[in-house]
Structure 1
Amino acid sequence: MSEVLNPEMLLLIFAAAVATFLTRVGGYVLITRMKTIPPRMEQALNAVPAAVLTTLVAPAFFNGGWDVKIAMSVALLVSLRYPGLIMLAAGWAAAMASRHLLGF
């Protein structure tokens, strides 16, 4: 337990918390002081969800096994036609089927 709570680790956690707080508050203050949001900033803000999703999905796809690749590919194809819950179920079913039938 002492390895986790050493002073350097506590300082790192505190610095990360302060940086997170300042970026959130800074963004709020910046946006509220503007009368209108410039078009380029609005485009950048609209791109954030896709960027976050990419940073979550890409490492799992490229570092995962074939079961993960199959499940994500099936989920992608299903998501083009059906809503999120069906896509989630299809990806899960593909992962379970590939693990069971193909031994991944």
Structure 2
Amino acid sequence: MSEFASPYMLIVILASAVATYLTRIGGHLIIGRMKTIPPRLDAALNAVPAAVLTTLVAPAFYAGGLDVKVAMAAGLIAGLRFSAIPMLIIGWCVVMAMRHFSG
């Protein structure tokens, strides 16, 4: 039997799904009961997207090769001018071109 189809793996997947659901619905229930959101909580919630982006980008930047670093730099520059979809397309095109021409 494949390790991905083992009963242990299915239990891990289901437990992860339940934990994810509970954290999401728990946050909604707690904040939904508040009449106003305190300024510190509002500031913390506003910082979440930057923190998530950092946790996704930093490992790829440090573990990736030159092609990934150049593509991320191109995506950053494109992101200053364009919206998300053109930025992703430009970054993807740069990394694919570098991989194609560098062998």
If the TM-score is normalised by the length of the shorter chain, which range does it land in?
0.7 to 0.9
- Pair 1:93–1:30, CA change in 2 (3 A): same
- Pair 1:81–1:19, CA change in 2 (3 A): same
Structure 2 gap segments, 5+ residues each: none
> Please, what is the CA RMSD of the aligned residues?
2.0
- Pair 1:43–1:96, CA change in 2 (3 A): same
- Pair 1:97–1:18, CA change in 2 (3 A): closer
1: CA distance between counterparts of 2:73 and 2:31? 38
Aligned to 2:95: 95
**Shift of residue 65, structure 1, vs aligned partner:** 1.1
Aligned to 1:74: 74
What do the CA deviations read for 1:11-70 (whole angstroms, capped 9, x no partner)? Answer: 333332222122112101101110000011111111111111111111111111111111
Q: Give the percent of matched residue pairs that are identical in Structure 1 and Structure 2.
A: 60
Structure 1 gap segments, 5+ residues each: none
Choose between structure 1 and 2: higher helix proportion: 2
1: CA distance between counterparts of 2:2 and 2:67? 39
TM-score under structure 1 normalisation?
0.81
How many residues end up aligned between the 2 structures? 103
